[in-house]
Amino acid sequence: MVAYTGLGCLPIVLLGALMGIWFAITDARDGDWATACLAAVAITLAFGLVNLMAALSLNRARTPGRLPGRGATVWTPRHRTGGTPLQCFSPHFLAVAGLFGAGWTLQWVHWSVAAAGYGALTVLYHGVPGLARRPARAAAVGERGRYARAHGWAFRERLPSLARRWTLDPLQPVAMDEAALMNVPSRAVLRDPFAVMSGTHEGVSFTVADGFVSEPFAPFRAWQQHHVTVCAVHLTIGLPFVRVALPDRDVPHSRHTVEVETLRPDFAEALVTEETIEAMLAAELTEWSIQGRDVFTVLREQPADHDLEVVHAIEQLTALVAALPADLAPWADGTAPDLPLRP
């Protein structure tokens, strides 16, 4: 069961037409499937380009100051098949072209050699971006490690469990029917968390971790990733998910306007008080989230004095937590998870 939105059915139509063309060429050439495979490679790449160009026209938007950047042009999920936006089928077209290419080589090599070649190309597609990110990861580990040791804070070069602790996309809408529920897209997570630092500030435990996050709804998510830093302070209880953001501060009359995303409006009403908003403004904290017992913000820039920016973010979050309402216990959401890294 697949739900379509707008022209989200375009890649399915194109791939279906591709298979029809392949069978037509094979039949017209008396079963010459090798020639049909070679023609299908070119046709698949052309169809993939058509799909991507359609997405550029339909699924791009200008965002006024919201993440991933102020005034950025971003991909959107307006036209999609199920939970997959139109542009995110681009790797599928590449994969199908690779399969037809492997099929074309079967006239000269054994099928196992063709399969091995296709597998090698797939591994390279996913592995090369990881190799390219190694220098940034090594630099962050070295600098963060020295900073943590100088302040007596705990440090770990890698902590894979953090990838399952935080999701960094905005809240997904509630599925309203079975088809939408089956096609909900996966949430963005912190990939390969590294340079993890943990300690206490003004009696509040905190954790800082670097990682890579795919650009939301990007066509080639394995390649289009950004180096980010998650700065989190930890509560004593777990709370429902909520994301709070200030709109663009350059927009007139937006000083006391906030955006709130949550599945628990009663909790948001109790949480986002005038005191909370004033604390955000005083700390110049434009966006933060609660997931479980973690109150965190995401730094998406890597300035030269990055560790000082990290400490400043922890100070901002600590000031925010001090201003939160004291009677949030009624919204406690199950058992609070352990700290990700003991200070």
pLDDT for the residue 67: 47
pLDDT for the residue 252: 47
pLDDT for the residue 17: 93
Contact between 213 and 206 under an 8 Å Cβ cutoff? The reply is no
User: Do strands 84-85 and 287-299 pair parallel, antiparallel, or not at all (unpaired)?
Assistant: unpaired
Domain presence at residue 217: yes
Q: How confident is the model at residue 253 (pLDDT cuts 50, 70, 90)?
A: very low
If you average pLDDT over residues 244-269, what whole number do you get? Answer: 73
Q: Please check whether residues 143 and 238 belong to one and the same domain.
A: yes
Neighbours of 107 (CB within 10 A): 13
If you average pLDDT over residues 9-34, what whole number do you get? Answer: 90
Residue 43 has pLDDT above 90, yes or no: yes
Q: Look up the pTM and report it.
A: 0.78
Q: Please check whether residues 267 and 137 belong to one and the same domain.
A: yes
Q: Please check whether residues 187 and 282 belong to one and the same domain.
A: yes
Q: Please check whether residues 51 and 136 belong to one and the same domain.
A: no
Least confident piece of the model among 43-47, 125-129, 249-253:
249-253
Domain presence at residue 103: no
Which tokens in the block code for residue 306? Answer: 């990055």
pLDDT for the residue 187: 63
Q: Environment class of residue 140 by beta-carbon count within 10 Å: exposed (0-12), middle (13-18) or buried (19+)?
A: buried
pLDDT tens figures, 204-232 = 899 999 988 888 788 888 888 888 899 99
Least confident piece of the model among 16-25, 82-91, 334-343:
334-343
Q: How confident is the model at residue 71 (pLDDT cuts 50, 70, 90)?
A: low
Q: Of 159, 151, 187, which is closest to residue 289 (Cα–Cα)? A: 187
pLDDT for the residue 217: 83
Does an H or E element contain 108, and which? none
Domain boundary among 36, 55, 74: 55
Q: Please check whether residues 277 and 147 belong to one and the same domain.
A: yes
Least confident piece of the model among 28-37, 121-130, 269-278, 297-306:
297-306
Domain presence at residue 156: yes
Domain presence at residue 117: no
User: Please, what is the average pLDDT of the chain?
Assistant: 83
Which tokens in the block code for residue 145? Answer: 């490690």
Q: Please check whether residues 196 and 307 belong to one and the same domain.
A: yes
Q: How confident is the model at residue 182 (pLDDT cuts 50, 70, 90)?
A: very low
Residue 283 has pLDDT above 80, yes or no: yes
Q: Please check whether residues 31 and 162 belong to one and the same domain.
A: no
Q: Of 83, 103, 80, 97, which is closest to residue 15 (Cα–Cα)? A: 97
| Domain extent at residue 15 | 1-55
Domain boundary among 55, 75, 96: 55
DSSP string, 270-337: HHS-HHHHHHHHHHT--EEEEEEEEEEEEE----TTHHHHHHHHHHHHHHHHHHS-S--GGG--SSPP
The whole-angstrom separation of Cα 246 and Cα 316 is: 15
Least confident piece of the model among 64-73, 74-83, 153-162, 280-289:
64-73
Domain presence at residue 119: no
The whole-angstrom separation of Cα 241 and Cα 243 is: 7
Contact between 195 and 145 under an 8 Å Cβ cutoff? The reply is yes
pLDDT for the residue 250: 52
Q: Please check whether residues 314 and 188 belong to one and the same domain.
A: yes
pLDDT for the residue 257: 76
pLDDT for the residue 66: 46
Q: Please check whether residues 16 and 144 belong to one and the same domain.
A: no
Q: How confident is the model at residue 94 (pLDDT cuts 50, 70, 90)?
A: very high
Domain presence at residue 21: yes
Least confident piece of the model among 70-79, 82-91, 121-130:
70-79
Q: Please check whether residues 132 and 272 belong to one and the same domain.
A: yes
Q: Please check whether residues 13 and 142 belong to one and the same domain.
A: no
The whole-angstrom separation of Cα 263 and Cα 171 is: 8
Domain boundary among 39, 55, 71: 55
Q: Please check whether residues 32 and 139 belong to one and the same domain.
A: no
The domain tally of the chain equals 2
